[in-house]
Every structure is written in C-alpha cells, then in structure tokens.
Structure 1
C-alpha cells in the first residue's frame, strides 16, 4: 500500500531550506526510498509551505527516515522553520491517475476490445498522430485512429498487456506488448497463422482530458521477421 507523508511548516528562509534538501538528494543517491515529492506554497501566506512526499509503502518510508543523512537534514530543516513542522502520515486508499486510465482504455477497450465508438470519447477532434520511424509522417483526425486500429485488428488477433506506464502532467507514456495470430493481410503479406509478439512505446499528450497527440515507437522489424519477411 502506498504511503504519503504531509509536512506542514512556515519559514522565511525557503531558499536556504531548498539548498539543504538539494544536498540531501545528492547525498542519498542509491539509498533513499522516495522518488516523488511536491512542495506547495500558500497563496495567502508566503511563509506557509506544505510538502507531500510519496513512498511505495510505510516500511519504505521508515527505511528512508532511518538514514543518517535524513536525520541530519531534519535537524537542519527544523532550524530554518518558524516553529516545529507538523507531520501527517497517510495510507493511500485511492490513487487515480485519470489520464493514465484513459490511455489504458485505448489499449484495453479500443485496440484489443474493438470498441471503435469509444474513439470519440478518448481522442480530441484535432488529434495528431506521429510515426517516430518516419518523422515526416504526421496525420490529423480521429479517423486516423479508426483506420489504423481496423487495419491491425483485421491482420492480427491480438491481446495487449501493459508492461509499464508513467504519467506526468498532461503526458502518459506506455510500454506495451501484444501477442496474437497473424490472420489477415499485413503489409502485403497474407495471413500466415503464425503466432507473433510485438513490443512498442506510445507517448500520449492530453488536452482537456482527451488525447491530443500520439507518438508511436513500434518494433516493426521484429514483427516482420516473425512473419518470414526481411
């Protein structure tokens, strides 16, 4: 279960505090157990700050707190605060990354499930599609998605798996793998009945909750080798 610690404090020496934190980050390379921290500044009180620090679990947070560098950093931070900071420890009971979930809907419900009607709900009207292997090939419109999904589904009976997904701001990167049977014509190669595997990475940029642009990295060479082509 993910664990989040919220640190609430006031300071008139934020730049000095940032320097202490930067030093801690440098000194704890390979040892610290947190990879995501956010600092917010109160709009109504310029000396009021809140840190939100995320860990994979409470146990990982305890490992982090027991580092000698963390203990040293804590005392230096407290000395720069106007009073003692407050700490709130939270077990995360809901972690919803909406854009990442929308990206998964493309792979699960559209590409694999064949629900082409969902394209209008997931992709922006002016969606732009980029083929990383051919930088000059950029196409615009939801119909591009319908065309490509139809082509792939007619050629292969495929099942997608999401190997890894990372979301930051309005961007979502997805590393995926599909496996399936070559059942129809693909790049002038008639269906062979061969079992194929293909990997790729898709980078989606969102705008107003819809996919506005997509960049595709596809291991086409590996796929063509499996189909007996050079």
Structure 2
C-alpha cells in the first residue's frame, strides 16, 4: 500500500529550504527510498511549509528513515525551522482525479 508522510513546519528562509531539498534530491538519487517529494508553501500562513513524501510502502519509508543520509538532512532541516516539525503518516486509500485545463 502506498504510504505518504507529511512534515509541516515554520521556516523563514525559503531559498535555503529549497536549496536543502534540491541538494537532497541530487545527492541521494541513486539510493532514493521514496517515489516523490513536494515542498508546498501555505498561502494563508506566511512561512508555513508542508513537505509531502510518497513511498511505495510503509516498510520502505522506515528503511529510508534509518539511512544515515536521511538523518543528516533531517538535522539540517531541524536547524533551519522555528519550533517543532509536525509529522503525519497516511496510507493512500483512494485515487486522485486529474483535471487538465488551459495552460497545462
């Protein structure tokens, strides 16, 4: 079953945040344990971000969590956020409809 983990946090340096995730993707592309990750910025709450990370399974997510590289990047993320990182864990139980409109 597809597993999704979200991380929500406050960060005041969007450029550094994007650089961290770009570096993470580049440096771990050969050992990547997840299918995709997306960094989202909250339109209603300045400096609030949520990261969506999709894995093929919960077990693969746990393997990814135990990697030293993951720990290193998590520590760097924790150093740039205000307060705690809020984690949420989800099993994907339904499909999403895709709407294609003008400009897509």
Count of residue pairs brought into register by the alignment = 102
**Structure exhibiting the larger radius of gyration computed from Cα positions:** 1
Instruction: For residue 63 of structure 1, report the CA deviation from its aligned partner.
Output: 1.5
- When you count strand as a share of all residues, which structure comes out higher? 1
* Aligned residue number for residue 20 of structure 2: 20
Higher relative contact order (CA 8 A, sep 6+): 2
User: 2:97 maps to what in 1?
Assistant: 98
CA deviations on 1:37-84 (whole Å, 9 max, x unpaired) are 222211122211111111110011112112211110000000000111
| 1:84 matched residue in structure 2 | 84
Once the two structures are TM-superposed, the CA of residue 97 in structure 1 deviates from its matched residue by: 3.4
3-state SS of the aligned residue for 1:59?
A: helix
Q: Secondary structure at the match of 1:85?
A: strand
Q: CA RMSD in A?
A: 1.7
What TM-score, normalized to structure 2? Answer: 0.87
The structural deviation recorded for 1:35 is 2.3
Cα pair 2:35 2:56 within 8 Å, conserved: no
| Whole-Å separation in 1 of the counterparts to 2:48 and 2:19 | 18
- TM-score (norm: length of structure 1): 0.42
SS of residue paired to 1:93 = coil
Gaps of 5+ in 2: none
Gaps of 5+ in 1: 100-168, 171-206, 209-230
Alignment check: 8 A CA contact 1:42 1:49 kept: yes
The runs of at least 4 aligned residues of structure 1 exceeding 4 Å deviation read none
Quick check: 28-37 or 68-77, which moved more? 28-37
* Partner in structure 1 of residue 64 of structure 2: 64
Deviation of the 1:98 alpha carbon: 2.7
